[in-house]
Structure 1
Amino acid sequence: MADPITPEISDRICKHMNDDHASAVLTYAHVYGKTPTAAAAAMSAIDPLGMDLTAQVDGETVSLRIPFDRELTDSEDAHQVLIAMIRQAKTPSA
């Protein structure tokens, strides 16, 4: 069974995303955070309802809250939702 999303699990997920998937985090900011001019972004927290990002937009640091479309159950659920979100973001609109 996967871990519940505690502050410690949030820190682990954020570190992994920022270290290994920085381009995905920037895509989350661009698409879901509605900041297409963001030059950089970092995930600062994740919880069952959404993720918090900080983004560099036009030389300023802005905080973004990106809600999930449903409440997450655990870390594996978070993993699957983050993958689905990046796939959806990269799919051209029909």
Structure 2
Amino acid sequence: MSTPFTADAVEAIKRHMNDDHAEDSLIIVRALGGRPGATSAVTSDVDAEAIEFVVDGGERVRVPWGETLTERAQVRKAVVRLYRDACGRLGIAARGEH
């Protein structure tokens, strides 16, 4: 797992995801992480290839970005893309702004 992100950047991304987008993470894990029955998903890591979650307090699940990220600014767009794809797969409406 290589990463173009500093440890501080990874911590900031994790904190933002867990504080502001916990429901989005759960939607991503259910639809794209192969865990349709998950009840919780906590962002645990981010690297160039994927975002990782701890699901239901134990199992680690990695969800690939679909491309290799090279800078921090790409993370937001990649998360929004995963979220919208996950909503589409689950047949639920995505919220407008992230």
| TM-score bracket relative to the smaller structure | 0.7 to 0.9
> Between Structure 1 and Structure 2, how many residues are aligned?
87
Give unpaired runs (5+ residues) of structure 1.
Answer: none
CA deviations over 1:22-42 (Å, ceiling 9, x no partner): 001111111111001101010
1:19 match: 19
1:90 and 2:87 equivalent?
yes
Q: What is aligned with 1:7?
A: 7
Q: Counterparts of 1:70-89 in structure 2 under 5 Å?
A: 70-89=67-86
Give the TM-score, by structure 1 length: 0.84
CA RMSD of aligned residues (A): 1.6
Gaps of 5+ in 2: 91-98
* Structure 1 residue 61 corresponds to structure 2 residue 58: yes
Output the TM-score relative to the length of structure 2: 0.81
Structure with the larger strand share: 1
Deviations 1:2-27 (A, max 9, x none): xx522211110010000001001111
